[in-house]
Amino acid sequence: MNFQHTEDRRMLADTLNRFVTEQYDFGKRERITRSAEGFSADMWRRFAELGVIGTLFDEAHGGFGGGGFDIAVVFESLGRGLVVEPFLDTLIVGTAITHSGNAAQQDLLGGLIDGTRIVALAHGEPQSHYELARIGTRAERVAQAGNDGWRLRGAKAVVQHGEHADLLLVAARTAGAIDDEAGITLFLVPANAEGVQVRGYRKIDGGRAAEVTFDNVALNDDAVLGTPGDGFATLERAIAHGVLALCAEAVGAMDVAKDFTLEYLRTRKQFGVPIGSFQALQHRMADLLLEIEQARSAVINAAAALGGERRARERAMSAAKYSIGRIGARVAEESIQLHGGIGMTWELPLAHYAKRLVMIDHQLGDEDHHLQRYIALGQA
């Protein structure tokens, strides 16, 4: 199989890398992450105008990409700049809508692609432990004003950009035990609906997230995405896209951390010579370069498997996420150690890349979770 990028993807990568380098420097990124919004609406609009958001969706749904390698190219470039705009949740929620949305719901995709509508995934809960099917938030069927509808109760944790989202994709249990795959229903909930309460906070790696609670939120049948009780397959597919995106983002961040470290080894001197001439440090750096290439290979494998059969797809995603978690932590640790004490300073961009690599491991399942999942999928 040929894993070389097409000319269109290479052009996209070159354009996006140049845009991020010139328009999203570290100083600007810091100002954005410290803002009340935690992202820049202006930059989000400019990314949309470049066609970056559209690359995440296929032509049938208003985009011009949507494949695994399209997603990988975009997120690797975003990782190089530590971009904090809501690309990940736009991809996950948009994928769920393209897979299971009715005609009216799919009309929402235009607002996602042109950057005028902010969406967020509200799935994780304080006790879910990364398990997709472990959902305590409940939705009950009720009759309201003569029309059948739903009442939503529960709480969701670490909802990215939850304070400023227009629409939330909420996973709720409508039947079964708390960890059953059957009985999960997905709802598209307006963030300003009565009973939705949001508490925002800053994240350690930049940007903002929120805790969201649902207190008897009234919803009609139009809010249901797909078939009631059968939302797990849609959720799993959408999360797979998110896992690939995070892994590609991590590879981009690793490349920058590697470049920073190589430059430091070439310029920092001890005993009158660059410290990069010391054999012990050369060996450590060589090992790190091999690990980063292993991570890149895992992302390529995951991108190739994204459109395939469910079990092969999920095993490839878990394998990639496990590799990224392990290698990302090592890149963060080694890069800082090779820099010495200066590697920990706030003013040095490297420290922020290290933090982001560590936090990527904890999004959508850490390395321990995905190792166990990979094994379980192999035994199924």
Is there a single domain that holds both residue 161 and residue 249?
Answer: no
- List the structure tokens of 142: 């009720």
Q: What is the pLDDT, as a whole number, of residue 4? A: 67
The span from the CA of 314 to the CA of 131, in Å, is: 14
Could you read off the pLDDT tens digit of each residue along the chain, which spans 380 residues? 555 677 888 888 999 999 999 999 999 999 999 999 999 999 999 999 999 999 999 999 999 999 999 999 999 999 999 999 999 999 999 999 999 999 999 999 999 999 999 999 999 998 899 999 999 999 999 876 666 799 999 999 999 999 999 999 999 999 999 999 999 999 999 999 999 999 999 999 889 999 999 999 999 999 999 999 999 999 999 999 999 999 999 999 999 999 999 999 999 888 889 888 889 999 999 999 999 999 999 999 999 999 999 999 999 999 999 999 999 999 999 999 999 888 888 888 999 999 999 999 999 999 999 999 999 999 86
The domain that holds 204 is classified in CATH as: 2.40.110.10
The answer to whether residues 204 and 261 belong to one domain is no
In a domain, 2, yes or no: no
Domain boundary among 203, 229, 255: 229
Q: What is the β-pairing status of strands 147-160 and 138-144?
A: antiparallel
Are residue 40 and residue 161 in the same domain, yes or no?
no
Among the listed residues 326, 350, 325, 187, the one whose alpha carbon sits nearest the alpha carbon of residue 265: 350
Residue 1 inside a domain? The answer is no
Q: Which two tokens stand for residue 15?
A: 């354009």
Residues 321, 298: Cα–Cα separation, whole Å: 8
Q: Are residues 321 and 241 in the same domain?
A: yes
In a domain, 173, yes or no: yes
Count, residues in the chain: 380
**How far is residue 162's CA from residue 262's CA, in Å, rounded to a whole number?**
38
Clarify whether residues 216 and 321 are in a common domain: no
Domain final residue pick, 118, 149, 168 = 118
pLDDT at 275 (0 to 100): 85
Decide: 121 and 89 in contact? Cβ < 8 Å.
yes
CA-based nearest residue to 355, from 328, 322, 334, 337: 328
Both 124 and 134 in one domain: the answer is: yes
157 and 136 assigned to the same domain: yes
Long-range contacts for 174-178 (Cβ within 8 Å, ≥24 apart)?
Answer: 174/138, 174/139, 174/140, 174/141, 174/150, 174/228, 174/229, 175/229, 178/134, 178/135, 178/136
How far from the centroid of its chain's Cα atoms is residue 131's Cα?
A: 16
Q: Same structural domain for residues 99 and 180?
A: no
Contact at 8 Å (CB) between 231 and 225?
yes
Domain count, the chain: 3
Has residue 296 been placed in a domain? yes
Task: Tell me, yes or no, whether 289 and 163 share the same domain.
Answer: no
Are 204 and 268 in contact, with CB atoms under 8 Å apart?
Answer: no
Full-model pTM: 0.95
Compute the distance between CA of residue 186 and CA of residue 327 in angstroms, rounded to an integer. Answer: 34
* 221 and 296 both lie in a single domain: no
Strand 184-190 with 224-225, pairing: antiparallel
SS3 21: helix
Which residue among 66, 91, 118 closes a domain? 118
Its domain, for residue 40, covers 7-118
Residue 288 resides in a domain: yes
Q: Determine the distance from the C-alpha atom of residue 198 to the mean position of all C-alpha atoms in its chain, rounded to a whole number.
A: 21
What tokens were used for 16?
């996006």
Distance CA 54, CA 57 (A): 6
Question: Do residue 114 and residue 125 come from a single domain?
Answer: no
* Cα separation values, 164 from 77, 118, 200, 302, Å: 24, 7, 9, 31
Task: Tell me, yes or no, whether 314 lies in a domain.
Answer: yes
136 with 208, same domain: the answer is yes
| Cα(120)–Cα(93) distance, integer angstroms | 7
* Residue 197 placed within a domain: yes
E strand spans, the chain:
119-122, 138-144, 147-160, 167-173, 184-190, 196-202, 208-220, 224-225, 269-270, 273-274
**What pLDDT shows up at residue 9?**
84
What is the number of other CB atoms lying within 10 angstroms of the CB of residue 110?
A: 12
